[in-house]
Amino acid sequence: MKKYSLETAVGIFVVIGLLCVAYMTVKLGKVSLFGDDYYSVYARFGSVSGLRVGNPVEIGGIEVGRVENLSIDQEKQVAIVQLKIKKGIKVYDDSNVSIKTAGLIGDKYIKIEPGGAGEVLKPGANITETSSPVDIEDMISKYVFGDASGKTSKQEDK
């Protein structure tokens, strides 16, 4: 009799442990099981250098979504970024979207500068005002080595 009660207690403990592991997997993996609390909008950039799927999307320094997908438009030769924005967050069609760096050498993130004078974007809409990231390596090499002609920008101004 005592043997069965010990086995039952261990079985219940194992089931509770597995439920906890499943819950943490869903929460930490940002997996949604019962519905999607996000909607998608798209932005086109000339370059998405350093941007990765899963990077945050921020408005006013507050994370409001994530980069869901990166693809390329073969016809126009531009990068298309799919952004998943939390439902309830309004993004306007005159918003400016740019790729920024967190710190000097940090990860990239998408910054949305709200417009407010335009219409609210519907799910699946395109944001037209975009700014590609600044290439730090290119800026440093131009400053240190000058341009291809051997003159620095200060010499050309004279």
Query: What b/e readout covers 17-48, taking b as 16+ CB neighbours within 10 angstroms?
Result: eeeeeeeeeeeeeeeeeeeeebbebbbbbeeb
Q: Return the closest-CA partner of residue 71 out of 42, 31, 100.
A: 42
pLDDT band at 81 (very low <50, low <70, confident <90, very high): very high
Other C-beta atoms closer than 10 Å to the C-beta of 135 total 13
Quickly state the pLDDT bin for 26 (edges 50, 70, 90). Answer: confident
- Please, what is the average pLDDT of the chain? 82
- Using DSSP bridges, classify how beta strands 78-86 and 38-45 pair: parallel, antiparallel or unpaired: antiparallel
Does the structure show a pLDDT above 80 at 153? Answer: no
- pLDDT for res 50: 83
In the sheet with 129-131, reading across from the earlier edge strand, the strands are 126-127, 38-45, 78-86, 62-73, 56-59, 108-113, 96-101, 129-131
Residue 138 to residue 84: CA distance in whole angstroms:
31
Give CA–CA dist 80/73, Å, rounded. Answer: 7
Rounded to an integer, what distance in angstroms lies between the CA atom of residue 158 and that of residue 44? 39
**Range of lowest pLDDT (17-26, 59-68, 87-96, 146-155):** 146-155
Given this model, what pLDDT does residue 42 score?
93
pLDDT tier at 2 (50, 70, 90 boundaries)? low
HSE on the CB side for 139, CA within 13 Å? 4
What's the whole-number mean pLDDT along residues 45-65? 89
Position 64 scores a pLDDT of 92
Please give the DSSP secondary-structure letter assigned to residue 158: -
Looking at residues 126-144, what average pLDDT do you find? 78
Q: DSSP letter string over 42-60?
A: EEEES--TT--TT-EEEET
Residue 147: what pLDDT? 65
Residue extents of the structural domains in the chain: 1-33, 38-135
pLDDT of the residue at 101: 84
Per-residue pLDDT averaged across 28-39, rounded? 69
